[in-house]
Amino acid sequence: MEDTIKIEDIIKPENIVFEKTSCLTDNVLSYCPGCGHGVAHRITMEVVEEMGIQDQTIGIAPVGCSVLAYDFMNIDMQQAAHGRAPAVATGLKRVYPNKFVFTYQGDGDLAAIGTAETIHACNRGENIVIIFINNGIYGMTGGQMAPTTLPGMKSSTTPYGRNAAMMGHPIKITELVAHLPGTCYVTRQAVHTPGAVRKAKKAIRKAFENQKLNKGLSFVEIVSNCNSGWKMTPVDSNNWMVENMFPYYPMGDIKDE
């Protein structure tokens, strides 16, 4: 009878269908409970493991909540100054064209202080992968307005909501870089549901495969939550994200060449 199967019979090494990838270290992530950064880290490292490229991959960590990405990603890494990761990645990739180089950046890092580095790395078609975590806010410094903060959205520097007339509109940098001939693959994903995670991972896999084929720059945006900055529970923040972020930042591929 089915009821006779004991849990101990199931929990055996040969029955493992999912475990943490060895391309993540055993360090406890420094992220808040429920933060999308963790899943984005994991699926990136799962792709590295599945492609068997751990020994050829170098990651560039940004300034932001993921500044310590190198504590969690079990690969060689450089920590870049705020916004400069695409330049660091460019320099490295140019002298090691056969290695895999990626940046992992937040929206403040990538779309505010590092806009020039982002646009020009994309425009040159650097053979790298950019993973862009868009949580609509500056997480690390305490929830200030980001270039991606939605109109009306409250943050610690827009306590009455972002006033677009005064502070400008949220920047859709992903659509922007899709216009540049140097990008070969530009997509927007999320990691809030199992289905979304599987899709996002496929996108990251494709981005790394593109790099292998020297196709140019692959840009994977992940719309994510910042429950601390948004002052919500993780579950509520994911719901809020679907209701408010997705209409402005629609999911799916923007460019795939």
Partner 1 sequence: MKELRLMKGNEAIAEAAIRCGVDAYYGYPITPQSEVMEYLTAEEPYKTTGMVVLQAESEIASIHMVHGAAGGGKKSMTSSSSPGISLMTEGISYLAGSEIPCLIVNVQRGGPGLGTIQPGQADYFQATKGGGHGDYRLIVLAPASVQEMADFVDLSFELAFKYRNPALILSDGAIGQMMEKVYLPEQKERLTDEEVAQKYGDWATIGKSPNKERNILTSLELQSERQEKHNFHLQAKYKKIEENEIRYEKINCENADYMLVAYGMSARICQKVIQLGKEKGINIGLIRPITLWPFPSQVIKESANNVKGILTVEMSAGQMVEDVRLAVEGKVPVEHYGRFGGMIPSPDEVLNALEQKLIGK
Partner 2 sequence: MAKVRGAVVIDTEKCKGCDLCVVACPTSVLLLAKEVNGKGYNYSYMENPDSCTGCMNCAMVCPDSVITVYRLKPQKSAVEA
Q: What is the contact surface with ligand SF4 in residues (CB under 6 A)?
A: 31-32, 35, 37, 65, 135, 139-140, 226-229
Interface with ligand TPP (CB under 6 A), residue from 108, 150, 162, 173: 108
Shortest CA distance to 189 belongs to which of 81, 47, 27, 92?
Answer: 47
95 in contact with partner 2 (CB under 8 A): no
Q: Which is nearer to ligand TPP, 155 or 187 (CB)?
A: 155
What 3-state class would DSSP assign to 85?
helix
Alpha-carbon distance 142 to 157, whole Å? 10
Residues 42 to 61: which contact partner 2 by CB under 8 A?
Answer: 42
Q: Quick one: tokens of 169?
A: 């509109």
Residue among 24, 65, 75, 204 that touches partner 1 (CB under 8 A): 75
Work out what residue 65 binds among ligand SF4, partner 1, partner 2, none; the CB cut-off runs from 5 to 8 Å by kind: ligand SF4
Pair 157, 188: CB distance under 8 Å: no
Q: Give CA–CA dist 57/83, Å, rounded.
A: 20
For position 60 contacting ligand TPP by CB under 6 A, the verdict is: no
- Return d(Cα 237, Cα 214) in angstroms, integer: 37
Single out the residue of 20, 27, 50, 76 in contact with partner 1 (rule: CB under 8 A): 76
Classify residue 57 by burial, with Cβ atoms within 10 Å: 0-12, 13-18, 19+.
buried
Contacted by 241, from ligand SF4, partner 1, partner 2, none: CB < 5 to 8 Å by type? none
Q: Which is nearer to ligand TPP, 184 or 226 (CB)?
A: 226
Give the amino acid at 198.
R
Number of residues that make up the chain: 257
For the bound state, the minimum distance from the C-beta of residue 33 to ligand SF4, rounded and expressed in Å, comes to 6
